Structure 1
Amino acid sequence: MNDEAILQGSCHCGAVRLTLPDLPETATRCNCSLCRRVGGTWAYYGFGSVRIEGHPQNTAEYVQGDRTLRTIRCKTCGVVTHWEPMESEAGARHGVNLNNFDPKLLEAVRVRRFDGADTWTFLD
């Protein structure tokens, strides 16, 4: 598998396609009430640096909690692809669910566990 192919992923049905600008060094698995249900493994990028095709025409959003970000899913298959800030300001970032990519990508990335349910600290 070449480097370019490993940086491309999609939701289950393919209506939402993502291309990462580069391989992340780390990713995060969070246990907050939303992330534990979604099962996301999040890599963070500067907002707008990930190419996302099929968004917003094929996506729906969910906004919860402090209303600072929206979690995006495919309207067809329901798979969560990413989250993005409600307002893009300087330094804003978004999270991409790496579970939508080839498993070899996750094998190449250190995944850290984050306690978003209680202490807001990394557990490793």
Structure 2
Amino acid sequence: MATTDAVSLKSTCHCGAISLTVTRMPEMINECQCTICRRYAAAWAYYYSNEIDFQQKGKTKTYVWGDGDLEFHFCETCGCVVYWWRILAGADGIHEVGINSRNMNPMEVLLVERRIQYDTLVGAIRDGSLKHPDDIAKYV
């Protein structure tokens, strides 16, 4: 398991227009298996918005699906998925953010624990009418 000591870790899209810098290693990297993340082949490192320095020389395009609580951001130029952002902030105004660690130097996150979590595969979104056709979760 990797240490969470202070570092400077950068996640940058292919063209360099969107960069995010954090000052600690992620606790783990998750390869979520929900209907969208498995298609992105993203490997998420989780942070809070107040831990991230966003440097955007370009614009992002967004995609929101299902319950509408996560906004996925892509570089408008090269198309890389760079992060997701929980639309509703906590009471303190801080958002949860998943940074795509596949945009990081793989040698810098080599020792971070990797997980493939399947709970989202069968975890129902709140509104079953919004589910993806490949969603196998049980709705009541």
TM-score above 0.5, yes or no: yes
* Number of residue equivalences: 115
**Equivalent in 13, 19, 22 of residue 20 of structure 1:** 22
1:98 equivalent in structure 2: 101
CA contact (8 A) 2:28 2:115 kept: yes
- Over 3 Å counting, the alpha-carbon distance change for 1:69 and 1:119 in structure 2 is closer
Q: CA RMSD in A?
A: 1.8
Between structure 1 and structure 2, the one with the greater Rg is 2
Once the two structures are superposed, the pairs formed by residues 50-89 of structure 1 within 5 Å of their partners are 50-54=52-56, 57-89=58-90
TM-score (norm. length: structure 1): 0.84
In 2, Cα distance between the equivalents of 1:53 and 1:65? 28
Cα shift readout 1:72-117 (whole Å, capped 9, x = no counterpart): 0000000000000112123641110000010113312101111121
- What is the CA distance between 1:9 and its match in structure 2? 2.3
In 2, Cα distance between the equivalents of 1:25 and 1:10? 20
Identity over aligned pairs, percent: 33
In 2, Cα distance between the equivalents of 1:74 and 1:46? 20
- What is the CA distance between 1:31 and its match in structure 2? 1.1
Please identify runs of 4+ aligned residues in structure 1 that moved more than 3 A.
none
- Please, which runs of 5 or more residues in structure 1 have no aligned partner? none
- Please, which runs of 5 or more residues in structure 2 have no aligned partner? 1-6, 125-140
